[in-house]
């Protein structure tokens, strides 16, 4: 985008600040918490209204859960899609919010509201960018597809089925994924992939009822049984013992490592923030970076048995359970590993330990040398005035595999968050300056990508 076009785009965004801010405030006023089922219909309708307002054709596509709001606008050789979600995390603990979570409030140029960073700010910015582009620069040079799901915060349980049923609808040459932030020095950061996830609950039952603990001499204790079963799944060095667990893990390339190093991960600052004398296994440097981004995890997210109240209770618990989330890296397969988890427990004599699959998602990533990554980086450099950072694989998860990777669509995750946006936590926020720049950046991507030569983007993501 030449400088004249950029100035025209910027001017329109500035002129229409009140409008674009108003759209976002309206979105943030909806308490669209999927986990609690509040305002989901209202929020889906509002998304459709905003899309229609800029001239898009829209529809709500039913799923087994909340519908996907779908919108299309523009014509051209290329298609760029946006994946966002209109649901948000529950707002509690409410007492820690400085202003009510669903009454968006601006203090010193920062907008506070549940969901403003994750990810209504991005969702609305993308609609605003299409609007600003048309007003500033004329017809869109490509087709835009807006895919707004309503269940991201509850694990996107219906996105696989949706993607299979709607493959033609969501087909695109590239996708801008939901969210992005800054590092502590204010540098924009993009991510090229997401870890997958395997979420299981393990449950042990011994006796048929809880007993007085005097029976512990001869009656098996479910908590001890679970404790032993867990020993069969991980060793003392944090190595996961599920058979073939690491077999499909693709190690980072030198280019990946270089990108990780460029992130300038602040080890000491992060350790201090989290109160840690050291990271796991005393890792640091390249080994730490590789571990964080390219190694899978097995995290006990919850563990419970018997009495956890104050003081003494002498009970022999007949049941014990835990939740474990395994974050997976390319090319691990969650369902294959769930079967291996079962086999590993069985082989160690824990056939009685019940394993329930609560969630599964494949990892997904776009190679760092994909041409679309360059489009995003170049336009960011021009918009923000500094070199952005690229994270080859984010340690979080999301439905990027069914919506992009399975369909061969390269995806880059970026957005209007900052280094302390407090996603999922009280006082979630974005800086308004990041919002205006984020709208401009999307406009620049539309411009640049709409004019890119076709052959650069024909290749599927491997």
Q: Which of residues 145-174 bind a copy of itself (CB under 8 A)?
A: 153-155
Q: How far is the CB of 164 from a copy of itself (least distance, A)?
A: 22
Q: Which stretch binds a copy of itself (CB under 8 A): 77-85, 167-175, 212-220, 246-254?
A: 212-220
| Residue 327 in the binding site for a copy of itself (CB under 8 A) | yes
CB of 252 or CB of 443, closer to a copy of itself: 252
Window 379-398: residues binding a copy of itself (CB under 8 A): 394-397
Q: How far is the CB of 427 from a copy of itself (least distance, A)?
A: 9
CB 398 within 8 A of CB 119: no
Which of 250, 358, 406, 456 is the binder for a copy of itself (CB under 8 A)?
A: 358
- What is the DSSP secondary structure assignment for residue 206, as one 8-state letter? -
Window 238-277: residues binding a copy of itself (CB under 8 A): 238, 274-276
| Residue 196 in the binding site for a copy of itself (CB under 8 A) | no
**CA-based torsion, 186, 188, 192, 193: positive or negative:** positive
Q: How far is the CB of 62 from a copy of itself (least distance, A)?
A: 20
Window 84-103: residues binding a copy of itself (CB under 8 A): 89-90, 92-93
Which of 61, 165, 216, 382 is the binder for a copy of itself (CB under 8 A)?
A: 216
Q: Which helix (H) or strand (E) holds 327?
A: strand 319-328
Residues in the chain: 462
Q: Which helix (H) or strand (E) holds 153?
A: none
Residue holding tokens 């948000």? 88
| Residue 116 in the binding site for a copy of itself (CB under 8 A) | no
The candidate with the shortest Cα–Cα distance to 302, out of 360, 230, 207, 220, is 230
Residue holding tokens 């695109």? 172
| Residue 351 in the binding site for a copy of itself (CB under 8 A) | no
Which of 13, 80, 182, 197 is the binder for a copy of itself (CB under 8 A)?
A: 197
Give the whole-angstrom CA distance, residue 407 versus residue 166.
11
Strands 188-191 and 110-112: unpaired
Residue 436 φ/ψ, nearest 5 degrees: -65, -40
Window 13-52: residues binding a copy of itself (CB under 8 A): 34-36
Residue holding tokens 């990041």? 434
CB of 174 or CB of 289, closer to a copy of itself: 289
Taking residue 370's Cβ as centre, other Cβ atoms within 10 Å add up to 21
CB of 168 or CB of 217, closer to a copy of itself: 217
CB 380 within 8 A of CB 418: no
CB of 315 or CB of 406, closer to a copy of itself: 315
Window 306-325: residues binding a copy of itself (CB under 8 A): 306-317, 320-323, 325
Q: How far is the CB of 394 from a copy of itself (least distance, A)?
A: 7
Give the whole-angstrom CA distance, residue 154 versus residue 160.
14
Which of 165, 262, 303, 382 is the binder for a copy of itself (CB under 8 A)?
A: 303
Q: Which stretch binds a copy of itself (CB under 8 A): 50-58, 123-131, 279-287, 432-440?
A: 279-287
408: left (phi over 0), alpha (psi -120 to 50) or beta: left
Give the whole-angstrom CA distance, residue 87 versus residue 38.
10
Instruction: Tell me how far the alpha carbon of residue 343 is from its chain's centroid.
Output: 30
Which of 215, 244, 264, 356 is the binder for a copy of itself (CB under 8 A)?
A: 215
Q: How far is the CB of 40 from a copy of itself (least distance, A)?
A: 13
Two tokens at 242? 């599920």
């Amino acid at each position: 985008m030449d400088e004249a076009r950029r100035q025209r785009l910027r001017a329109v965004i500035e002129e229409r600040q009140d409008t674009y801010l108003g759209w976002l405030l309206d979105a943030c006023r909806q308490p669209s918490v999927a986990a609690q089922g509040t305002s989901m219909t209202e929020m889906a309708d509002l998304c459709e209204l905003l899309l229609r307002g800029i001239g898009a054709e829209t529809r709500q596509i039913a799923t087994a859960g909340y519908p996907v709001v779908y919108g299309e606008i523009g014509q051209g050789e290329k298609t760029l899609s946006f994946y966002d979600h209109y649901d948000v995390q529950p707002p509690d603990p409410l007492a820690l919010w400085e202003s009510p979570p669903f009454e968006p409030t601006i203090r010193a140029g920062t907008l506070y509201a549940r969901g403003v960073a994750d990810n209504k700010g991005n969702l609305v910015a993308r609609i605003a960018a299409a609007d600003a582009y048309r007003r500033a620069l004329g017809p869109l040079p490509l087709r835009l597809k807006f895919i707004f799901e309503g269940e991201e915060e509850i694990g996107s349980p219906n996105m696989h089925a949706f993607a299979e049923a709607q493959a033609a609808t969501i087909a695109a040459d590239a996708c801008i994924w939901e969210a992005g932030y800054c590092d502590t020095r204010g540098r924009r950061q993009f991510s090229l992939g997401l870890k997958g996830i395997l979420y299981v609950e393990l449950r042990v039952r011994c006796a048929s009822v809880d007993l007085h603990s005097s029976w512990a001499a001869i009656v098996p204790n479910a908590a001890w049984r679970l404790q032993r079963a867990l020993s069969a799944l991980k060793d003392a060095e944090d190595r996961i013992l599920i058979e073939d667990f690491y077999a499909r893990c693709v190690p980072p390339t030198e280019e990946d490592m270089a990108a990780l190093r460029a992130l300038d991960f602040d080890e000491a600052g992060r350790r201090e923030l989290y109160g840690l004398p050291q990271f796991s296994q005393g890792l640091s440097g390249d080994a730490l970076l590789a571990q964080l981004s390219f190694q899978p995890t097995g995290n006990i997210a919850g563990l419970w048995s018997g009495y956890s109240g104050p003081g003494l209770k002498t009970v022999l618990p007949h049941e014990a359970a835990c939740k474990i989330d395994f974050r997976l890296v390319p090319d691990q397969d969650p369902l294959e590993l769930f079967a291996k988890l079962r086999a590993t427990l069985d082989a160690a004599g824990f056939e009685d330990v019940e394993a329930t699959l609560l969630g599964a998602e494949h990892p997904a990533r776009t190679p760092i040398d994909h041409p679309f990554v360059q489009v995003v980086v170049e336009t960011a450099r021009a918009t923000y005035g500094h070199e952005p950072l690229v994270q080859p694989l984010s340690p979080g998860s999301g439905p990027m595999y069914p919506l992009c990777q399975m369909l061969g669509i390269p995806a880059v995750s970026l957005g209007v968050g900052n280094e302390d946006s407090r996603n999922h936590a009280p006082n979630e926020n974005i800086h308004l300056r990041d919002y205006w720049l984020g709208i401009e950046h999307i406009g620049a991507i539309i411009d640049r990508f709409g004019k890119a030569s076709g052959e650069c983007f024909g290749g599927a993501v491997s």
